[in-house]
Structure 1
Amino acid sequence: MTSFAIRPEDLHDTLTTLLGDRAHTISVALGEVTVHVGPAQYLDVMTCLRDAPGCQFEQLIDLAGVDYSAYREVGTDGPRFGVTVHLLSVSLNQRVRVKVLCPDDDLPLVDSVNALWNSANWYEREAFDLYGIVFEGHNDLRRILTDYGFIGHPFRKDFPLSGHVEMRYDAERQRVIYEPVSIEPREITPRIIREDNYGGLN
């Protein structure tokens, strides 16, 4: 086991040689290496990062969906949904971030890496539940945080803050029922305390 960390610049050079044109870009910022890959190369690149000498990323430590729709407001155009993955090599004491964009906004889909790292299981289910990203090849892709009858994906930026439906227990029917949200939109203005000597201050 390596006791010292590999320099990000050295990892950048290793990945540039190893991945070639399978990676769109490989960059170093704030001491971290980020690899951008296309959806067609994603599974192949991830397999390479796990198995290749000089990489040996044995652990997937995080995977998250991303909704880039608000990026258009700052002049960045492109696919709406993406996936960001963080990998760790314990044996070589190095980390890498991998980013992939889903090519279709209406059906965001990328390959599952659950067969490579079983820790991806719940992360991919979470991204499916909250963003609607489909992970092709995942053997148990179902919601993990929202209820069975939940409609929509609550981490999408166009999802309403109050949701669409609410649930409550109905004593007459003796079961949980779902109804349209009945919360009236309101603006909350914080109360300002202007008492003399508030908090013991003069």
Structure 2
Amino acid sequence: MANKLETLMGSLRAVLGEAKIASLKTALDEVTLEVPASLWSEVALLLRDDPQLQFEQLIDACGIDYSTYKDGVWEGARFATVYHLLSYKYNVRLRVRVFCTDDAFPMVNSVVDVWPAINWFERESFDLYGIIYQGHPDLRRLLTDYGFVGHPFRKDFPLSGFVEMRYDAEQARVIYQAVTIEPREITPRIIREENYGGC
């Protein structure tokens, strides 16, 4: 396995060159390539089309919020998108990470033209993390309600949310209102072995 990963890393360095690689690492029998956001569209095409790579299948893509990573000691950009690619020809997988350059307005170029399967993955990431995918043909919420405020997978999003909806019998419709749930801390009951089972 190590030989296959070394071959992949060598091919990535040969095709992309040092300028297009922010970081290239191997951990847990996987290669992780970090690409600068400004070069992502160009690198995506090379990953798919270059004869040495041929990552023709996008398996998964997701957003990540690093704001509390490593107990809040994380230094660097807050938001990233991680892509998992597969090359059928070489039977190898690749993880690609692209950090958004602006934490206040996270944005990455869409690669829906390169891998059409990413369409809903980018929409999901936009909905849950607020990452904008520039050039996406239909970037709108996918999992939350149309009137939803905020992005629920961000680490600073409150667990109870901002609004709740309920049916109002007087108005005969569903209405939105401010959250009325009182936040509380639940401490689990501790079961001691000597008292367990009534023995």
Q: Please give the TM-score of this superposition, normalised by the length of structure 1.
A: 0.91
Look up the match of 1:10. 7
* Cα separation, 2, equivalents of 1:74 and 1:145: 28
Look up the match of 1:128. 126
- Deviation track 1:133-167 (CA, whole Å, cap 9, x = no partner) reads 00000000000000000000001100001100001
- Deviation track 1:33-77 (CA, whole Å, cap 9, x = no partner) reads 111110111111111000111211111111010111124855431
Match of 1:26 among 18, 24, 27: 24
Give aligned-pair identity as a percent.
Answer: 57
How many residue pairs are counted as aligned between the two chains?
198
* Cα separation, 2, equivalents of 1:198 and 1:80: 46
* Cα separation, 2, equivalents of 1:19 and 1:96: 14
Q: Please give the TM-score of this superposition, normalised by the length of structure 2.
A: 0.92
Look up the match of 1:152. 150
- Deviation track 1:148-192 (CA, whole Å, cap 9, x = no partner) reads 000000011000011000011112211110010001112222234
Look up the match of 2:35. 37
* Cα separation, 1, equivalents of 2:186 and 2:22: 46
Match of 1:47 among 31, 45, 48: 45
Distance 1:6-1:85 versus aligned 2 partners, 3 A rule:
farther
Larger helix proportion of the pair: 2
- Which consecutive unaligned segments of at least 5 residues does structure 2 have? none
* Cα separation, 2, equivalents of 1:65 and 1:125: 10
Match of 1:163 among 150, 161, 177: 161
* Cα separation, 2, equivalents of 1:74 and 1:154: 19
Letter in 1 for 2:51: P
